[in-house]
Structure 1
Amino acid sequence: MTNCPPKLRGDLSKWLCEINTGVYVGNVSSRVRDALWERVCQNLKNGQATLVFTAAGEQRMDFRTHNTTWETVDFDGIKLMRRPLPQTQQSQIDLKPGFSKAAQQQMARKAGRTRPGTGDYTVIDLETTGLKAASDSIIEYGALRVRDGAPVEKLTILVCRAEKIPPEITALTGLSAAELQQGADPREALQRFLAFIGKDPLVGHNIAFDLEFLRMACKQHDFPIPTNRQTDLAQLARRKLTRIANYKLVTLAQHFQLAEKVEHRALPDCRLIQQVYCKLKETEAQ
């Protein structure tokens, strides 16, 4: 872990032993581990973190990353850590063989003039009963498929929950227990969501929060955990915007004059995330 704030270091030290600067080890339950990782994702603003922990399976270990270019990939059932190539190298690899150097340079210049925000990806957002993936659950899935920079397909699913919905969640989202009782079966909803996102790169606001809930749901229903590449809108905004009060979705939407408030519903938030993402990519291209 790098750039760890003192408060977070104190929280980690209560459960783990710091054997070197930013290196923590310990033997804790999965619930404590998930709670500590959630705290890391929420409080580690400018630093990077990698979590390695024991897990069931042949490999006996699993990985999680936060704010890093490294990503977990599944290679024939074995989890590996992959570091993406620099963009310049990737561009060279993507050029088709058989063209002259002049043609390759022209193709590269043409690619550089591509309209900001274009590309193929899927925006995701989840609504949940609380902030802890280990004890709370997903009540709504939202996803927006984007092709060549334009939304082409949407997905929204309410999830049936028998348990009581906290009043503060109903006040925030407007979703009542009666509405959720008419929702889809949790396993069916998860299966439909996973099929929709496929292998697309994912874009979300504080996406680590959503992916933690998604990982927990996959474990609960015995589905493979997604290893899609991901972009966190909040982290992208921190790199591109400096004169802004905070990096909440509503603040970013107001900054770009896209909306005055956030609905806190999965699909509308996906649409707003996609619009802010395009604005940030335009800023990146200037």
Structure 2
Amino acid sequence: MIVVTVTNCPPSLRGDLTKWLFEINTGVYVGRVSARVREELWKRICNHVKDGQATMVFNAANEQGMDFYTWHSAWEPVDLDGIKLMLHPLLGNQSANVDDSGTKSNAEIHLMARKRALKQNQFDAMRNYTVIDLETTGLDPLENRIMEFGAVQVRNGRVTETYSQLIRITEPLSQEIEKLTGITVELLEKEGVSEKDGLDAFLEFIGEDQLLLYNASFDMNFLIQACLRYGYPTPENHCMDVLPLAKKKIRLMPNYKLSTVANHLGLEKQEHRALADCLLTKAVFVKLNEKGS
């Protein structure tokens, strides 16, 4: 789901937006599009709205469950311990945060309290979550399909339950995918279930739990498209992405693939399968958090 608001919207831009989104009020558009279409729409907005203002809010695989873009806004996007907020222009001036006696303003007190609460939530998140990973037939969530679901439930830092299921597919598998995963069409036919059955069981397993993923946007985009095919509501679980954490904690890596990061941390290489990658993601997450801030 995305929501777009624009001011001084020229007719040509309005035409572009209404091809993909519903205009529910003057300058307000809503709808569901792929990440690729969303990014192209934002480029067109920025190129055509000129002196007007624009905002786009959309689902994202992060702790907030959403992200946003702004154009020509007086408000400033800021990061508060991984949470993206908008800073009021007046609060951008340090003198607005402290009165003449040096006492903190209500706004600063509120931000400090929120920061403490976030740290507590982060501690809980490190102990209780469900790791998920999907094996897919390709890289495009609109064209390719999920061929394996994997999930690992973690409580108090310990694995308590796992889920793994192959999915029958109708499209051929490339040699690259077969070599990477060891999964073949014959294996999927023998041990796989229908996509709907696998999806139903997977969604029941993860429930409303907080999710841990490596490169979260990839798996979540495939999961969202699978839900849309069957008219299911898209998952609203809070997500923690290990990839940005790896980039923050480990500098100058040749790449940040899960296997590369795991090898750097001294973790044993495992087969490239959904359940194995879930367990490896958990191990990487734990190791990265041992490295301190």
User: Which residue is 1:71 aligned to?
Assistant: 65
- Report the alpha carbon displacement of residue 184 of structure 1 after superposing the two structures with TM: 1.0
> Does the 8 Å contact 1:140/1:157 carry over to 2?
yes
User: Which residue is 2:135 aligned to?
Assistant: 127
> Does the 8 Å contact 2:167/2:194 carry over to 1?
yes
Q: Which runs of structure 2 are paired with 1:111-150 in the superposition (5 Å)?
A: 118-150=126-158
Q: What is the RMSD of the two structures over their aligned residues, measured on CA atoms? A: 3.6
User: Which residue is 2:70 aligned to?
Assistant: none
Distance of 2:240 and 2:217 partners within structure 1: 10
- Report the alpha carbon displacement of residue 93 of structure 1 after superposing the two structures with TM: 9.5
> Does the 8 Å contact 2:63/2:238 carry over to 1?
no
Normalised by the length of structure 1, the TM-score is 0.65
Q: Percent identity?
A: 35
Could you tell me which amino acid in structure 2 is paired with residue 205 of structure 1? Answer: Y
Counterpart secondary structure, 2:212: strand
User: Which residue is 2:164 aligned to?
Assistant: 156
> Does the 8 Å contact 1:69/1:83 carry over to 2?
no
Q: Which consecutive unaligned segments of at least 5 residues does structure 2 have?
A: 1-7, 22-32, 41-54, 68-82, 86-109
- Report the alpha carbon displacement of residue 39 of structure 1 after superposing the two structures with TM: 8.2
Normalised by the length of structure 2, the TM-score is 0.64
> Does the 8 Å contact 1:133/1:216 carry over to 2?
yes
Distance of 1:134 and 1:251 partners within structure 2: 28
- Report the alpha carbon displacement of residue 29 of structure 1 after superposing the two structures with TM: 5.7
User: Which residue is 1:166 aligned to?
Assistant: 174
The runs of at least 4 aligned residues of structure 1 exceeding 3 Å deviation read: 24-30, 37-40, 82-88, 90-94
Q: How many pairs does the alignment contain?
A: 217
Instruction: Write the deviation string for residues 151-178 of structure 1: whole angstroms up to 9, x where unpaired.
Output: 1110000001133222221111111111
- Report the alpha carbon displacement of residue 221 of structure 1 after superposing the two structures with TM: 1.2
Q: Which consecutive unaligned segments of at least 5 residues does structure 1 have?
A: 1-18, 41-49, 53-62, 74-81, 95-107
- Report the alpha carbon displacement of residue 227 of structure 1 after superposing the two structures with TM: 0.8
Could you tell me which amino acid in structure 1 is paired with residue 217 of structure 2? Answer: A
Distance of 1:203 and 1:172 partners within structure 2: 23
Counterpart secondary structure, 1:284: coil
Could you tell me which amino acid in structure 1 is paired with residue 114 of structure 2? Answer: Q
Work out whether 1:193 is the aligned partner of 2:193.
no
Instruction: Write the deviation string for residues 195-230 of structure 1: whole angstroms up to 9, x where unpaired.
Output: 111111111111110000000000001111101111
Work out whether 1:271 is the aligned partner of 2:271.
no
Counterpart secondary structure, 2:208: coil
Could you tell me which amino acid in structure 2 is paired with residue 89 of structure 1? Answer: R
> Does the 8 Å contact 2:63/2:239 carry over to 1?
no
